[in-house]
Amino acid sequence: MGWDRDRAGRLMLTFDPTGLSAAQRDGDACVVCHKKWPRPRVRVGQLPDRAPIHACDECAEAVLPVPEGGRVPLPRRSRAFL
């Protein structure tokens, strides 16, 4: 998640539930790619009723805003050693 300017809290993206499947609304599928396994773990936003929305690791990096200063953190796992 990105932090707001004064670092008081995290920015939360709000998603429109009409374009999401039931599995996506329930957190059982990635909000971006619909992947169900492994279950998405990264909270990327919420619905208007404050229900959490999740994405898989790969899609979360694309959805979350870039931090100020343009620095992008390293990926959670390196594919160089796989």
- The residue with tokens 């773990």 is 41
Residue 82 and residue 68: Cα distance in Å, rounded?
A: 31
How confident is the model at residue 6, as a pLDDT?
Answer: 45
What is residue 66's predicted lDDT score, i.e. its pLDDT?
A: 62
Number of Cβ atoms within 10 Å of the Cβ of 58: 14
Q: CA separation (Å) from 37 to 23, 44, 78?
A: 12, 17, 20
pTM to 2 decimals?
A: 0.65
So what's the pLDDT on residue 58?
87
pLDDT, position 54? 92
pLDDT means over runs of 10, the chain (82 residues): 47 85 92 91 90 90 70 59 54
